[in-house]
């Protein structure tokens, strides 16, 4: 299974790659080995949740603005105490924008869409701020061209695919201001930190 990292900044596909090329590798390639080179310098982030830890590898060479924006939110502690507020089975898990009381967190100005990567956003392709989503399926309709400018895919899951799978399969319903797709058992992002790449 491959999964993509889609942020509220809407990480879309990069150049000629499709969103499935980027989003799936983001989480599905978590189990794939990489050999030295540029990937060794790609920053990694751990998302510690109440259900386990997910490790992301980011690609600043593919989505520089999105990665810079995401890392700034991580370093500022923005994601600590937020929740995965939207889960759609066989599609994606989304979080990073609301606290445990479903209060939306303040954000900086939006990031320009680097389509072909993956951050969450509104219908405006240049509206991504802090929320992100992880694809758990080949979501071709989110590719650039298939749906306006698509979503910016800026990394992959390199560890914790089991945690992603657990979250993706939680029962959902109404919660806070949302009429559906909210996990019945709250999934809390306890801490998000930049970590050294594992060899």
Question: Who wins on pLDDT, 41 or 104?
Answer: 104
Question: Who wins on pLDDT, 95 or 122?
Answer: 95
pLDDT single digits (tens) 67-118 = 999 999 999 999 999 999 999 998 899 999 999 999 999 998 887 777 643 4
- pTM of the full structure: 0.75
CB 6 within 8 A of CB 133: yes
CB 87 within 8 A of CB 3: no
In terms of Cα–Cα distance, which of 127, 48, 116, 51 is closest to 87? 51
Fold of 4-195: Cyclophilin (2.40.100)
- Given the DSSP bridges, would you call strands 92-99 and 132-135 parallel, antiparallel or unpaired? antiparallel
CB 14 within 8 A of CB 151: no
């Amino acid at each position: 299974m491959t999964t993509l990292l889609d942020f509220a900044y809407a990480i879309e596909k990069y150049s000629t790659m499709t969103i499935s090329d980027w989003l799936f590798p983001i989480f599905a390639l978590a189990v794939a080995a990489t050999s030295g080179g540029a990937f060794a310098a790609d920053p990694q982030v751990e998302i510690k949740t109440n259900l386990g830890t997910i490790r992301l590898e980011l690609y600043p060479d593919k989505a520089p603005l999105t990665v810079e924006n995401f890392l700034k939110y991580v370093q500022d502690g923005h994601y600590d105490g937020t929740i995965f507020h939207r889960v759609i089975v066989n599609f994606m898990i989304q979080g990073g924008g609301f606290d445990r009381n479903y209060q939306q967190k303040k954000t900086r100005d939006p990031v320009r869409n680097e389509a072909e990567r993956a951050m969450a956003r509104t219908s405006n392709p240049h509206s991504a701020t802090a929320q992100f989503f992880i694809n758990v399926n080949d979501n071709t309709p989110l590719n650039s061209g298939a749906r306006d400018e698509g979503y910016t895919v800026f990394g992959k899951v390199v560890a914790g695919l089991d945690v992603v799978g657990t979250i993706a399969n939680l029962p959902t319903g109404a919660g806070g201001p949302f009429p559906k797709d909210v996990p019945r058992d709250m999934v809390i992002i306890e801490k998000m930190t930049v970590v050294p790449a594992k060899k």
